[in-house]
Amino acid sequence: MKRKQMRRAVWGNMIALLLLSCNPNELPPPSQGDIVFSVAGEVEGAPLNLSAGLEGYFMYTEGAIDSSGLWQATGRLGALGCQSGCPPELSFRFQSAGEAQLDSLLLPGLVPVLSPGETVIDTIFQAVLSASSGHFSGIAAAAHSWELADSVFAIGQTAVIPDLQMPVEVTLTTTMADNCTSTTTKQVSPLSGNALPCTVGFQIDSGGLDSVIIATVLPGQDWVQTFRWQGVVEGEVFTTFLPFQAPLDICLEGINLDGCIAQQCQTIIPGQPGGAASGCFNDFSIEVQPSEVATHFPGALNGVALMYTDVDGNVFSSEWGAQPPGTFFEVISASPYEVNAFGQATRRVAINLRLQLFSASGAAGPEAQLAGEVAIGLP
């Protein structure tokens, strides 16, 4: 009888131990890891062989959804609890815009490699235009108006074309306090720089006779290729014998081969000595200011990234630069695995890869050629 009781006690203790060992809330010591997860190959030609459960390595998994709504499924093969002087470690991150996209990344086949995107540097040309004017009688300018392009106008002594992409014709019209007007037209381009002076002027002599008017171009008009009086091509002197009883406007245009057109108009009053009631001119300078504008085009939302930390603590990632030709990341297979410590579902993923790694500055680092099986946590 006593022997039967002893047998029952032994069996009872064994059953209790079995029940405790099967407690689903109890996890095996992390230091033992899981030998099914290992990655082997080369990094910059040096052998690399990491296995969870050996030499203190452990397979960490975690899933999360970041602040922008992207799904992050990560797995890290690293030394347990190491803070400094750690051996090499590898980290894998599958990123997607949602659950369906993440599932598609884990299908057998090639997976896009995440990249920082592309930054394009464009040179923007800004043209600053400054008006100058004068009057034979010293009268000040009352207003400057600009026609910068079709139906684009500006008022003031200066005008700005913020983004000058191609040559445009700009016309400046200056009105003096006595209503004398002068007009200058120039072609402004990104290569204009500071253009040559573009102003034309003339003096009038009626010879004391109302019926004879002689207009002569002032000195300093060497830039002019063609003079046009009253819209008709003429030389440097314009003579008219037409009698007039009312004030008459005479206009002169100077045109050069660079597309600069300057115009000046004067009003002739019958019987007034010298004949000139007013005379004015204008011009404007062109200063082209180049500047660089960077436009960033983000990379794809869906893909994978590999991060490698060497024995010196230097961190490299495939995501910090654009992958050169011949690189790839391949998923061989993916299947459900155990729930991780966060209560998240995980996937066991067989991989094969050849990736270029980069430093955080974007400089090319080591190349990794690896294959094996890892685990990732799902959000």
Task: Give mean pLDDT, residues 39-60.
Answer: 90
Could you tell me the residue ranges of all domains in the chain?
Answer: 28-117+299-377, 122-293
Q: Tokens for 353, please give them.
A: 């890869």
Task: Give mean pLDDT, residues 179-193.
Answer: 77
State phi, psi for 372 to the nearest 5 degrees: 155, -160
pTM of the model: 0.51
Handedness of CA 183, 184, 187, 190 (dihedral sign): negative
* Euclidean distance between CA atoms 98 and 95, whole angstroms: 9
Pairing of strands 213-217, 109-110: unpaired
Which band of pLDDT confidence, cut at 50, 70 and 90, is reported for residue 2?
very low
- The set of residues, in sequence order, having a beta carbon less than 8 Å from that of 228 and lying 6+ positions away, is 234, 252, 253, 254, 255
Residue with tokens 């992050």: 72
On the question of pLDDT at 135 being above 80, the answer is no
* Euclidean distance between CA atoms 144 and 182, whole angstroms: 10
Task: Give mean pLDDT, residues 316-327.
Answer: 92
Q: From 364, 363, 365, 353, select the one nearest 306 (Cα to Cα).
A: 353
* Euclidean distance between CA atoms 189 and 148, whole angstroms: 12
DSSP state of 69: S
From its phi and psi, is residue 342 left (phi > 0), alpha (psi between -120 and 50) or beta?
A: alpha
5 in helix, strand or coil?
Answer: helix
Kindly report, residue by residue over 286-303, the tens digit of the pLDDT.
888 888 887 767 777 899
Count other C-beta atoms under 10 Å from residue 330's C-beta. Answer: 14
